[in-house]
A and B are shown apart, each in its own frame.
Chain A
Amino acid sequence: MALNIVVGIKYVPNTTNVNIDPKTGTLVREGVPSVVNPHDLVAVEFALELKDRYGGKVTALSMAPPQARAGLEHVLGMGVDEAILVSDRKFAGADTLATSYVLAKAIEKIGDYDLVVMGHETIDSSTAHIGAQVASWLNLPYIYYVTGLEYRDGYFYVTRELEDRVERYKLSKPSLIAIKMHSRIPRHVRLEYKLRAVLDSPIKVWSNDDLGLDPNCIGLRGSPTVVSKVEFTPKVPRKNIVFEGDIRESVQKLIKALLEEGVL
Chain B
Amino acid sequence: MQHKFDVIVIGAGPAGSSAAYNLAKAGFNVLVIERGRKPGAKSMFGGRVYKAPVEKAFDDLDKAPIHRWVVKERISMVYDEEALTIEYDGRGRHSFTTYLTDLSSWMADKAVSAGAKLVTEVVVDKLLIEDGWVKGIVSGDEKLYADVVVDAEGINRLVLERSGLVEKLRPEHVALGFKEVLKLSKEDVNKFFGLDDDEGLAWVFMGEYTDGLPGGGFLYTNKDSVSLGLVIYLGHAVKELERHVYDLIERVRLSRIFNKYFRDARVMEYSAHMIPADIKALRPKRLVYNGLVIAGDAGGFLLNLGYTYRGVDFAAYTGYLAAKAISEASGDYSLESLSKYERYIDESFVGQDLKRFSGVHDLYENRRLFKEYPMLAINMMRRLFNLEYESTRFKDAFNESRKGVVGLTTLLKDLWGVYRKL
Contacts and interface: CB of A to CB of B under 8 A. Distances in A.
14 contacts: A77-B122, A188-B140, A189-B121, A190-B140, A191-B33, A191-B122, A191-B139, A191-B144, A194-B119, A194-B120, A194-B122, A195-B117, A195-B119, A198-B117
Nearest to B122: A191
A171 B248 CA distance: 61
A191 B119 CA distance: 8
Interface string B103-122: 00000000000000111111
Nearest to B142: A191
A77 B140 CA distance: 14
Given A191-B142, A192-B142, A77 B121 contact: yes
Contacts of B119: 191, 194-195, 198
B1 interface: yes
B121 A192 contact: no
Interface in B31-76: 31, 33, 38
Nearest to B3: A195
Nearest to A192: B1
B1 A198 contact: no
Interface in B111-146: 117-122, 139-140, 142, 144
Nearest to A189: B121
A225 B38 CA distance: 36
B3 A190 contact: no
A199 B4 CA distance: 12
Contacts of B144: 191, 195
Highest count of chain B CB atoms <10 Å: which of A74, A188, A190: A190
- Per CB-CB distance, the 6 closest pairs between chain A and chain B, nearest first, are A194-B119, A191-B139, A191-B142, A191-B122, A189-B121, A192-B1
Given A190-B122, A192-B1, A194-B121, 9 more contacts: A70-B38, A77-B122, A189-B122, A190-B140, A191-B122, A191-B144, A195-B3, A195-B117, A198-B118
Contacts of A188: 121, 140
B1 A191 contact: yes
A8 to B, nearest CB: 21
A189 B123 CA distance: 10
Nearest to B144: A191
Interface in A162-202: 188-192, 194-195, 198-199
Given A190-B140, A191-B144, A194-B122, A199 B117 contact: yes
Interface string A191-221: 1101100110000000000000000000000
A199 B122 contact: no
Contacts of A195: 1, 3, 31, 117, 119, 144
Nearest to A199: B117
Contacts of B139: 191
A192 B143 CA distance: 9
Contacts of A190: 122, 140, 142
Interface in A71-90: 74, 77
A106 B256 CA distance: 61
A74 B144 CA distance: 20
Interface in B133-182: 139-140, 142, 144
B131 to A, nearest CB: 23
Given A77-B121, A191-B119, A199 B3 contact: yes
Contacts of A77: 121-122
A77 B118 CA distance: 13
B121 A74 contact: yes
Nearest to B31: A195
Contacts of A199: 3, 117
B346 to A, nearest CB: 35
Nearest to B119: A194
A53 to B, nearest CB: 20
B145 to A, nearest CB: 12
B66 to A, nearest CB: 19
Contacts of B31: 195
A5 B64 CA distance: 43
Contacts of B33: 191
A188 B142 CA distance: 13
Contacts of A70: 38
B308 to A, nearest CB: 32
Nearest to B124: A191
B209 to A, nearest CB: 28
A188 B121 CA distance: 9
A51 to B, nearest CB: 19
A189 B34 CA distance: 12
A77 B37 CA distance: 12
A70 B38 CA distance: 10
Contacts of A198: 117-119
Highest count of chain A CB atoms <10 Å: which of B3, B119, B144: B119
A219 B353 CA distance: 60
B33 to A, nearest CB: 7
A133 B144 CA distance: 44
B24 to A, nearest CB: 14
A140 B120 CA distance: 37
A192 B144 CA distance: 9
A194 B119 CA distance: 6
Interface in B1-15: 1, 3
A74 B118 CA distance: 13
A188 B35 CA distance: 12
Nearest to A74: B121
